[in-house]
Amino acid sequence: MPDAANTYLERGPGFAEALRFWLKLGCISFGGPAGQIAIMQHELVDRRQWIDQRSFLLGLNFCTLLPGPEAQQLATYIGWRLHRVKGAIVAGSLFVLPGAFVLLALSWLAAAKGDTPVVGAIFYGLKPVVIAIIAHAVWRIGKRTLKNWQSVALAIAAFLGIFAAGIDFPWIVIAAGAVGWLAGRSGRSPFATVAHRPKNGGADPIAPPPTGGMKRLVILVAVFALLWIVPVGLAIGLFGAKPYFDIAELFTKAAFVTFGGAYAVLPYVAEEAVRTYAWLSPGEMLNGLALAETTPGPLILVLQYVGFFAGWNHPDGLPQLAAAIIGAALTTYVTFLPSFMFILAGAPYITGLGDRPALGSALGAITAAIVGVILNLGVFLAREVFFPAGGVDLASIALALAALLAMLRFNMAIHWYVAAGAALGLAFHFVNAQ
């Protein structure tokens, strides 16, 4: 008798049909992870029935436990369910590539034309909206996560650890995860998360885990190590170590600690990119976050913008645009490569993952700490926008407050707020020009 997974695969779409869908999804995946997951739920579970509800939710549970963009990883996992390794690679890659190409063009616009009055006016309107988006993320995640005094205390400790003590983000994640893990092992954890559960039961359609799991894992890690070493080594050998070694090191490290989404890792990246490496200014970092909000795909693509500016501002003998494109491509590659490794390594073993209380508690503790981390990002960037050159920009403060109130009141997609901010910045510029 064929196993359940192979039986399910026989009912699935052809590879060419799935490829067309993944390309379409990559082009329309606006709205952040919640919107992207909702699109996949509607298209893949409800409409096309390529995957059943229980498998979809198990995959979502698995992806929420991983560092990295959970919606992209969920697409990768479903691609694996449908067509194994080639399906995972195609689904995960096409979820990212359309937005990456759009952001590449927008990054060039910001770098080459950002000093022109019209483009500068657009960014002037965008920056306060981005501050409001970050504040809304703090509110949204905090409301869902900070359910007791222990979670609140952990969020405050994370904020003070980064803001006052200067502790690096990876150590915050490790410490929070350890606290949650130990609390989960004790039996009753204040950080425990509730796994997504289907309303109706039913047999698990996923096949039993393959034998030889450790050997498979070692081979997989070795393959992905080669996939990292060879391109990074070629980039450094052909174009020089600066800034490409630093790009590969920073964004690989970030990929392994990106719990809680892009907003969580951005303070760490901003600190390193702005202050340590001087690849870009805080204002340019804000511009990149605003541009990433307007493109399809995961918000973590903002890291590609940072890599673009690393090459643009430090071409090291290369043509400026060529250096920027290499920096952007290398950033995108090392940022998303670990996500494929996590999915291919763990996908056969996800059954029952949500029933492990220590894992759920560790994830809950990390998510609580992320609230403090995102708050630090807002403070870091708000100082640049609201208090430029030691003054006070009342117009930016008013626009940020108005945008935040609108987000709390209306349930509109984020890119509409970004578009409104850009339009207001242009209007402000033309009024002042009269």
Structure tokens at 290: 């605003």
Torsion-angle region of residue 350: left (phi > 0), alpha (psi -120 to 50) or beta? alpha
Residue 95, pLDDT score? 97
Residue 434, pLDDT score? 66
Instruction: State in Å, rounded, how far the first CA of the chain is from the last one.
Output: 78
What is the C-alpha to C-alpha distance for residues 169 and 370, in angstroms, rounded to an integer? 10
The gap from C-alpha 130 to its chain's centroid, in whole angstroms, comes to 16
Structure tokens at 180: 């949650």
Residue 345 neighbours by CB distance under 10 Å: 15
Q: Quote the pTM value.
A: 0.79
Our CA angle for 168, 404, 109, nearest 5°, is 70
What is the C-alpha to C-alpha distance for residues 139 and 82, in angstroms, rounded to an integer? 37
Can you give the residue ranges of every domain in the chain?
97-194+229-433
What is the C-alpha radius of gyration for the chain, rounded to an integer number of angstroms?
22
**Signed CA dihedral, 329, 330, 334, 340: sign only:** positive
Tens digits of pLDDT across the chain (434 residues): 344 444 444 457 999 999 999 999 999 887 677 668 878 888 898 889 999 887 887 788 788 778 889 899 999 999 999 999 999 999 999 999 999 999 999 999 999 987 788 878 888 888 888 888 888 888 887 887 888 899 999 999 999 998 888 787 778 888 888 998 888 887 777 887 544 444 433 334 444 555 567 888 899 999 999 999 999 999 999 998 889 999 999 999 999 987 767 777 887 888 899 989 999 988 888 888 888 877 888 989 999 999 999 999 999 889 999 999 999 999 999 999 999 999 999 888 775 555 567 777 887 888 788 888 878 878 877 888 898 877 898 989 999 999 999 988 887 777 788 888 889 988 887 887 66
Q: Which residues, at least 6 apart from 341, have a Cβ–Cβ distance to it below 8 Å?
A: 220, 221, 224
